[in-house]
Structure 1
Amino acid sequence: MLRYILIIASIITLTLTSCRNDFNFETSTGELRFSRDTVYLDTVFTNTSSSTYTLKVYNKSNKNISIPSLQLEKGEASNYRLMVDGMPGKVFQNVELLAKDSLFVFIEVTSDVAQANPTDFLYTDRILFGTGVATQKVELVTLIQDAYFIYPKRTQNPDNSYTYEGINLGVDEEGNPITIYGMELDENDPINGNELVWNNTKPYVVYGYAVVPPTKTLTVEAGARIHFHAESGLIVANNASLVVNGEPSQTEALENEVIFEGDRLETEYSEVPGQWGTVWLTQGSHSNSLKNLTLKNAVIGLYVNGNDGSNTTTTTLDNVQIYNCTNYGIYATTGFMTGQNVVVNNCGQASFAGSFGGSYDFTHCTFANYWAKPNQNSVQLDDYDGSATYELVQANFKNCIIYGSTNFGLKLNQVNTSFNYQFENCLIKFADFSNQFTNDPLYDFDDSNHYLNCLIATNNSINNPDFKDADNNELIIGEDSAAKGAANFNYSSGTFDILNNSRTNPSDIGAYNFIIFE
C-alpha cells in the first residue's frame, strides 16, 4: 500500500514541476481585448447607486500576462466602483491573466448631479489598463438625473441605532400595531418645499409610503414623473384627495402625461411587474380625479378601499393606463368609481376587480389581461357575503373590451339576490369549451337585462379584438377587429379616444379608435 502512495505522490510532483513554466507572467504590452469600448451605465438619480455592469477583458495571446495597473483614471476620487477578481476597489496592481483566458470587471456608480457635466449631466471616467504607451482605455458614461426625494425622517437613538418615521395602519388580530415605513407629505418641507404639489421640473423618488394627510389634496401636475422604490407607494387618507392633472401629449415622449413607475431606470426594468407597492385610496378619501396617467410595474396598481359614505362617485378615471401588476391593475372594494378610456393589461389576478360590492360605471374602456400564467381574468365582480353592506349597487360597462389570453375574461360571483350589472355593446372573451357555465344565469348572454348587443368571443377566432401587440401592452385595435364600428354611438358622441382622436359614427368598442397597422 505504501508503494502505491509513493507512486501517486511522485506523479503529482512531476505534474506540478512540468507545469510550473505555465505560471510565469509577462507584463502586458497593450494587446488586451474588451467586450466593449464604452460602458454606458443607465440613468441614475443623484446620489443613488446604479445596477452592476459587466466588462469582460480577454487575453487572446499564448502568454500569461500581468497587467501592471488596472485603475479608474480619477483614482480614489472617482464615483465609479470596480470589482476585479472578487476584490472591490478603484486601483489594482499586477492583475494576472492566463493565456487564452478572460476576467470580469464589475462596475457601479453613485454620483451627485453637481459632479456631472453641467451641459449634458453626464458623469464620465475611464478604466486604464497598463501604464505608459501600452495603456489601454475603456470609457465609462452615465447620465445623472436630479430629483426630489421623499423619504421617512429618522432619529438617532442613544445606542447609535436609528428609529424611522412610520405610518400606523391600526392593529392586527392580536392587537399589535401595524406600522409601515412611511411619512406624511408636508406643505412646508425644509428641502422639497410644498410636497402636496408634484410638478414637472424634475422627477420625484419616493421611499416608503407617502401619505396625503386628512383634509389635504395632493395635486400632480401635467408631465410629472413619479418613481417609487421597492415596497413604496402612495396613500390617500380619510377625507383627503388625489388629483392627477395629466394632459394629452403631442409626441411619443409623453411630455404632458403623468407617469407612476418604479425607480429602476435601466431598460431591462421598464416592463417588470411588482417593483413597488400601490396607490391606495383609503376609506373616506374623496374627489379623487386621475387624468392622463400611466401607472405600471406595481403590485396593485390602484387600490380603492371603500368610499366616503355619500353614495356618490369618489374616484374618477379619465385616460388612465395601468400595466404589469403582479396582483391587480385596479382592486376596488366597495368602491364608487367611474372611468372612461381606461386601459389595463398584464395583471396576475385581474385587470379590474370590483369586490365587496360597490358602484362602477365604465365607458369605452379596454380591460385586457395577457399575464403569462393561467387563471387570471380581465374583470371580476362579487358581493362578498351578500349582506347589504356589500351590495353591488351597479356595475355598468358600456362600449368596453373585456378580453385576455385565458378562456374567461369575465368572472362573476353573486350571493345576494340584488346583484346589478350590465354590459352594453361590449366585446367579451368567454370560451366555455366544457360547457360548465351553460346553465349559469350569470353568463346568460341572451339576457338583455345584463348583456345588451354584446359580442362574445367563444374562441380566439370569433370576435377577436385584433390588438396590435397585446403581450407588449399595445392594445390599439386594427381594421380587422370585431370591435370596429360596433359601439353604441350614444356613449361616443362628442368624445375622444385615449389618443385624443375624435370618435366618429360608427364608433369603435374600447378605449382606442381602430387604425390600419403598418
Structure 2
Amino acid sequence: MRNYIILLLVGFIISMSSCREDFEFEPSTGNLTFSKDTVYCDTVFTNIGSSTYSLKVYNKSNKDIKIPVIKLGKEDSKYRITVDGMVGENNRVFRDVELLAKDSMYIFIEVTADVASSNPTDFLYTDQILFDEGTNQQKVELVTLIQDAYFLFPKRFSDGTTETLTIEGIEKPVYGFVLDENDPANGNEYHWGNDKPYVVYGYAAVASSKTLTIDPGARVHFHAESGIIVGNGATLKAVGTLEDKIIFEGDRLEPNFDNVAGQWETIWLTAGSTNNEIEHVIIKNAIVGLNIDSNDGNFMPIKNTEIYNSSLIGLYAKTAKIQGENIVINNAGIASLYCAIGGSYDFKHCTFNNNWSSSRQVAVALNNYYEDIDGVIQTEPLTQAYFKNCIIYGSNTFELSLDPDSTEDFNYSFTKCLIKFGTTTNSLYSFIYADENNIKLSENPRFLDIQKNKLNIGDDSAARGFGDDIGVPNDILGRIRTTTIGKYDLGAYQHEIFPED
C-alpha cells in the first residue's frame, strides 16, 4: 500500500512539472482565417434587437499568437460583439486577445439599429469587425437590413406604470391599449394600411362601436404575449385579395422563426363583436390563431383564409356562428378547428389537417358544454355543425372528436368528406362507416408538403372528384373548380399536377 502511495505521488509530481506554466505569444501576422467573410444578420425592425449570430476565428499556424486589437469599425456602431465570452470595452473593442496554435474562438454578434442609421437607398446597415491594425489588419463584413414599421404599444405614464386593459372574465389587467383615432405618431390607428408593417406590443383593443379596417397587403407583426381584442359592439374588417393577402405573424423576421408556433397570442373576437369579416388572410405561429366568442347572431364569414402552426388551437370558436369557405388550417397542439360550447357552423370546401407531434391532437373537435367556476357543467346547443366537401386529416388514427354533454343539443353532419378515423363502436361516429359514397375513410389526400404548409392536392389524391357542387365555384387560389365525372374535389384546393423534383 505504501509503495502504491509513493508511486501516485511521484506520478503527480512528474505530471505537474511537465505542465506548461506559461505561453509565449507572438504578435499576429494577419493570417487568421474565418468561418465566413461576411456575416448577414437577418432583417430586423427598427430599434428591435436581432438574434445572436456567430463567427468562428481560426489560428491555423503552429504558433501561439496575440491579436493586438479586435474591434468594430464604427465608433458608434449599432452592432455588439463578444469575443470568446469577453465583453470588452462597451462590446466593441477587445485588446491583446490570445489564441493558441491550431485553435479557434467564437465571436458572437448582435445588432439594434434604426432605419435612420441605414443606407437610405437600400436600408442596409453595415459595419466591419477589424482584426489587428496596419498592414496585418483583416476584416469581416457585417450586413443587416433594417425595416421601418408603425409601432403600436401601451402608453407609459409619468408615475412609471403602463396602460392596461380590464377584460370581463379575466381577473388581472391585461397588458394592452385601446387604439386611438388621433395618435400623435401613427395617426388613425383604426386604419392599418400596407405602406409599411405594423408591430404590436401587448393587446391592441378595438373599442365598442369602432371598426378596425386592415387593407389588402398589410403585414401585422406581434411581439410575444400580444394580439388584437375586438370588444363588444366593435368590428374587425380584415379583407385582403388573392394578390394582396393580409398576414398576421410574430415579430421575429429571421428564417429560423418561419414556422415556430406560439410566438404571439391571438386575434380575439370577444362576445358581442359584430359584422366581422376575414378573407384572404394568413395567420401564422400564434398560440390561438382566431379566438371567436359568441358573436351578435349573424353568421360571420371567414373565406380563403389560412391558419398555420398554432401551439394550442388554430380556430377556436365558442358559441359562435361562422360560415367558412376555403379555409385551410394546419398543425396545432390541441386542435386545428375547435368548435366548443355549442354554436352554429357551416364549413364548405375546407381543409383541416393536424400533424402536431403528439398522440392527442385532432384536426376537428366539437362539443356543447363547459364547466363553470363552481364546477357545474353548463350546456349550450350545437344548433348545427355542417361540413361539406371537407378534408379532415392528420398523423393520428382519430382526427375527429365529437364530445357532447347531451346529444339532444348536438347536431352535426358530414357530407362528402374525407375523414381520418380508425375503428370504434361509439354510435356518434356511425355515420363514418354507414355510406362509403358519402365518407371517404382514412384515404390519403396526398398533400404537397405538410411541413411547409402546402396542403395542395395532386391528381392522385383521394380527395379528387368526390364532392358535390355546393356553390363555391373557385378554390382558395381563385381557380375555377372543374368536375371529374360530375364531381368536385374536396378541400380548399382544386387538384393539380405537381412538377417532378
Report the TM-score, using the length of structure 2 for normalisation. 0.93
1:452-467 mapped onto 2 (5 Å cutoff): 453-457=438-442, 463-467=443-447
Query: What residue number does 1:274 align with?
Result: 262
Q: Which residue of 2 aligns with 1:517?
A: 498
Q: Is contact 2:370-2:378 (8 Å) kept? A: no
Matched, 1:480 2:491: no
Q: Helix, strand or coil for the counterpart of 2:14?
A: helix
Count of residue pairs the alignment pairs up: 484
* Structure 1 residue aligned with 2:213: 219
Secondary structure at the residue paired with 1:242?
strand
Q: Distance in 1 between matches of 2:54 and 2:455?
A: 36
Cα distance in 2 between the residues matched to 1:441 and 1:167: 42
Match of 1:153? 155
**Quick one: percent identity of the two aligned structures?**
52
Tell me which amino acid in the other structure corresponds to 1:402.
Answer: I
Q: 5+ residue gaps in structure 2? A: 372-376
Contact 1:170–1:178 at 8 Å: present in 2 too? no
- Aligned pair in 2 of structure 1 residues 13, 464: CA closer, same or farther (>3 Å)? closer
Write the distance in 2 (CA, Å) between the matches of 1:289 and 1:454: 31
> Is 2:369–2:379's contact at 8 Å kept on the other side of the alignment?
no
Secondary structure in structure 2 of the residue aligned to 1:11: helix
What is aligned with 1:295? 283
C-alpha displacement at 1:180, in angstroms? 1.1
Map residues 50-65 of structure 1 onto 2, 5 A cutoff: 50-65=50-65
Match of residue 419 from structure 2? 428
Corresponding residue of 2:233? 239
Asked if 1:411 corresponds to 2:401, the answer is yes
Structure 1 counterpart of 2:374:
none
Measure, in 1, the Cα distance between the counterparts of 2:151 and 2:437. 50
C-alpha displacement at 1:46, in angstroms? Answer: 0.4
> Are residue 305 (structure 1) and residue 293 (structure 2) matched?
yes
Alpha-carbon distance between aligned partners in 1 of 2:11 and 2:355, rounded to the nearest angstrom? 63
Is the CA contact 1:325–1:346 (under 8 Å) kept in the aligned structure 2? yes
1:5/1:476 Cα in 2 relative to 1: closer, same or farther (>3 Å)? closer
Q: What is the identity, as a one-letter code, of the residue corresponding to 1:349? A: I
1:504 is aligned to 482
Q: CA deviation at 1:191?
A: 0.3
CA–CA distance in 2 between the matches of 1:318 and 1:511?
Answer: 10
CA distance in 2 between counterparts of 1:337 and 1:388 reads 22
1:371 maps onto 2:359 in alignment? no
Q: CA deviation at 1:456?
A: 1.6
* Counterpart residue number, 2:316: 331
2:46–2:115 contact (8 Å) kept in structure 1: yes
Deviation (angstroms), 1:316: 1.4
1:374 is displaced (CA, Å) by 1.7
CA RMSD of aligned residues (A): 2.0
| Residue of structure 2 equivalent to 1:252 | none
Pairing 1:308-323 to 2, within 5 Å after superposition: 308=296, 310=297, 312-313=298-299, 315-323=300-308
Aligned equivalent of 1:110: 112
2:166 aligns with 168
Q: Which amino acid aligns with 1:153?
A: K
In the TM superposition, what whole-angstrom CA distance separates every residue of 1:76-135 from its partner, at most 9, and x where no partner exists? x11100111222210111111011111110100011101101110000000011111111
Structure 1 match to 2:340: 355
Match of 1:253 in 2: none
CA contact (8 A) 2:368 2:409 kept: no
Whole-angstrom distance in 1 between the partners of 2:176 and 2:13: 68
Structure-1 residue corresponding to 2:29:
29
TM superposition shift of 1:248 = 0.5
> What is the aligned partner in structure 2 of residue 48 from structure 1?
48
> CA shift at 1:388, angstroms?
8.6
Q: Please, which runs of 5 or more residues in structure 1 have no aligned partner?
A: 250-255, 458-462
User: For 1:4 and 1:344, how far apart are their aligned partners in 2?
Assistant: 71
Contact 2:63/2:101, CA 8 A, preserved across alignment: yes
**Contact 1:398–1:491 at 8 Å: present in 2 too?**
no
Is 1:390 the counterpart of 2:380 in the alignment?
yes
Please state whether the residue corresponding to 1:133 is helix, strand or coil.
Answer: helix
CA contact under 8 A between 1:78 and 1:125: conserved in structure 2? yes
Aligned pairs for 1:97-136 (under 5 A) are 97-136=99-138
CA separation in 2, counterparts of 1:286 and 1:301?
Answer: 19
Q: Letter of the aligned partner of 2:48 in structure 1?
A: T
Aligned match of 1:261: 249
Q: Please state how far the C-alpha of 1:473 moved relative to its aligned partner.
A: 1.2
Distance 1:344 1:378 in 2: 8
Code of the residue aligned with 1:345 in structure 2: it is: N
**TM-superposition CA deviations, 1:288-314 (whole Å, max 9, x none):** 101100001000100111222x3x21x
CA 186–452 in structure 1, closer or farther in 2 if over 3 Å, else same: farther
Q: Cα distance, 1:15 vs. partner? A: 2.4
Offset of 1:6 from its aligned partner?
Answer: 7.9
Kindly indicate whether residue 48 of structure 2 is the aligned counterpart of residue 67 of structure 1: no
Aligned-partner Cα distance in 2 for 1:171–1:248: 38
